[in-house]
């Protein structure tokens, strides 16, 4: 009876289009009071204690750093370097789009920021160079998703928090899949655009672009190099990213002012006003469910339903692909991470591999209707119909699913750099 009432309440709130924070809060309070025999005061205590985690500090700092770099010169200089290196190749501008997204992903940690920073420059350039409308919009929209796989990735940070997995290890595990997916998308861009106009290779142009963009090029080197050499943690790296972005954009390039930094800090705070309440309530719900033994019960059901690891992984991927169509990345990771981990552990799937599998699935979800965030962002930014953008990404989704299967059935791809 209690479960039926809870489900009915959630469905009613969804029909009334209530905020996800309110829905999660109602669910958490209901489980705490009705099933656990607690009080609403316990919920408030959980909300407070769940936010007492220094790793959460990385999220606003990576967001601010990415905004400053996208607004200033770092993003443009990264794109200029990649274009100078690839313009002369078959499909070189398409390759430059993918590679630019990969490089910017390594400093921003955000899919939407990557899409916008690279897309506003590369989409017009692709069209002017004779690339088809379908490929141009599909490339910038799809390659933008690299922002949540290549470290530093905000969804990987969230996954590390809710599953108590090392964020540094997750970052390291994401490098090989991220580079491999980048290579696959770049190769597709070359093969499908062999007849397009090419540029002429110029060593002078390349060296000039590198000289102008050396500060931009050093950004991922400093961040990832500092993390894996042991100089600073992923959270400290986020602070370094902000400091470096301020130093380069405000003092070296001098294209941004202190007011620009203040404006980006305020817009980030507004964004976090939506994100952090979801994080707090989801972490509180995770604690309540753990006390009630829900993850263990779910794991027992999974073990009784599936015969072996491989059928479980296939079912997991299908479920996550469907969920990615309906729920945003952060909410999906917060709600499903702990429960899926309990089930995966029964079949010997490591928390690291599960994290990368989840992120790639939800990365594909950014490109699938009806929620697909990248579809919405691209549709608004480039003034295209939602259906047109959705159709343009289909070939890229097929390639990403192939990559997902590789990571699923070849766990060494996520463990290689950890061994």
Query: Could you list the pLDDT tens digit for every one of the 419 residues in the chain?
Result: 555 666 666 667 666 666 666 777 777 777 666 666 666 666 666 666 666 677 777 788 888 887 787 777 777 888 888 888 888 888 888 898 899 888 888 777 677 778 877 888 888 888 888 888 899 899 988 988 887 888 888 888 889 888 888 888 998 898 899 999 999 999 999 988 887 777 778 888 888 888 888 887 787 788 777 877 778 888 888 888 888 888 888 887 777 777 877 887 888 787 777 777 777 777 776 666 666 666 666 667 777 777 788 888 898 898 888 888 877 787 788 878 888 888 888 888 899 999 999 999 988 988 888 777 788 888 887 888 888 888 999 999 999 999 999 999 998 888 877 76
Query: Beta-carbon neighbour count of residue 388 at 10 Å?
Result: 16
Residue 29 is assigned to a structural domain of this protein: no
Residue 19 is assigned to a structural domain of this protein: no
The alpha carbon of 412 is separated from its chain's Cα centroid by a whole number of angstroms, namely 21
Residue 9 is assigned to a structural domain of this protein: no
Helix (H, G, I), strand (E, B) or coil at 359: helix
Q: What is the pTM of this model?
A: 0.84
Residue 390 is assigned to a structural domain of this protein: yes
Q: Rounded to whole angstroms, how far apart are CA atoms 271 and 108? A: 15
Find the angle CA(151)-CA(166)-CA(351) to the nearest 5 degrees: 95
Closest to 111 (Cα-Cα) out of 141, 76, 74, 71: 141
| Cβ proximity of 299 and 345 under 8 Å | yes
3-state SS, 242-284, equals HHHHHHHHHHHCCCCCHHHHHHHHHHHHHHHHHHHHHHHHHHH
Closest to 219 (Cα-Cα) out of 75, 121, 417: 75
Q: How many domains does the chain have?
A: 1
Residue 214 is assigned to a structural domain of this protein: yes
| Cβ proximity of 64 and 264 under 8 Å | yes
Domain encompassing residue 307: 39-415
Residue 160 is assigned to a structural domain of this protein: yes
Residue 8 is assigned to a structural domain of this protein: no
Residue 6 is assigned to a structural domain of this protein: no
* pLDDT number for residue 294: 65
Give the C-alpha distances (Å, rounded to integers) separating 402 from 42, 170, 394. 45, 21, 13
Q: Provide the strand spans (E) within 292-379.
A: none
Give exposure, 201-231, as e/b (b: 16+ Cβ within 10 Å): eeeebbeebbebbebbbebbebbbebbeeee
Counting Cα atoms < 13 Å in the Cβ hemisphere of 26 gives 16
């Amino acid at each position: 009876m209690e479960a039926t009432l809870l489900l009915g309440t959630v469905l009613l709130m969804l029909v009334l289009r209530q905020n996800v924070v309110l829905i999660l809060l109602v669910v958490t309070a209901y489980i705490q009071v009705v099933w656990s025999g607690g009080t609403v005061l316990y919920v408030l205590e959980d909300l407070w204690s769940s936010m007492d985690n220094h790793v959460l500090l990385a999220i606003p700092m990576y967001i601010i750093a990415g905004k400053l770099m996208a607004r200033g010169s770092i993003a443009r200089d990264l794109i200029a370097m990649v274009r100078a290196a690839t313009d002369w190749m078959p499909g070189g501008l398409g390759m430059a789009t993918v590679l630019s997204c990969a490089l910017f992903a390594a400093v921003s940690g955000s899919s939407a920021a990557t899409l916008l920073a690279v897309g506003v420059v590369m989409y017009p350039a692709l069209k002017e160079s004779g690339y088809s409308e379908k490929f141009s919009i599909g490339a910038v929209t799809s390659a933008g998703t690299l922002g949540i796989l290549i470290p530093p990735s905000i969804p990987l940070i969230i996954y590390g928090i809710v599953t108590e997995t090392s964020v540094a290890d997750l970052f390291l595990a994401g490098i090989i899949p991220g580079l491999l997916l980048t290579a696959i998308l770049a190769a597709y861009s070359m093969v499908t655009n062999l007849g397009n106009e090419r540029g002429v290779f110029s060593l002078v142009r390349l060296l000039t672009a590198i000289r102008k963009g050396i500060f931009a090029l050093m950004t991922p080197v400093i961040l990832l190099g500092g993390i894996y050499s042991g100089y600073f943690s992923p959270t400290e790296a986020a602070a370094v990213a902000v400091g470096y972005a301020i130093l380069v954009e405000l003092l070296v390039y001098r294209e941004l002012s202190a007011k620009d930094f203040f404006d980006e800090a305020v817009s980030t705070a507004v964004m976090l006003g939506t994100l952090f309440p979801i994080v707090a309530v989801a972490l509180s719900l995770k604690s309540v469910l753990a006390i009630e033994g829900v993850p263990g019960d779910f794991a027992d059901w999974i073990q009784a339903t599936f015969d072996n690891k491989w059928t479980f992984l296939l079912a997991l991927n299908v479920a996550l692909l469907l969920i990615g169509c309906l729920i945003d990345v952060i909410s999906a990771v917060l709600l499903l991470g702990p429960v899926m981990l309990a089930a995966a552990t029964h079949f010997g799937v490591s928390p690291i591999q599960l994290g990368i599998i989840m992120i790639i699935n939800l990365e594909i979800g950014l490109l699938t209707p009806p929620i697909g965030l990248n579809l919405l962002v691209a549709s608004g930014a480039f003034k295209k119909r939602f259906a047109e953008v959705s159709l343009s990404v289909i070939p890229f989704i097929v390639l990403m699913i192939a990559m997902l299967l590789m990571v699923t059935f070849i766990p060494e791809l996520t463990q290689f750099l950890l061994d």
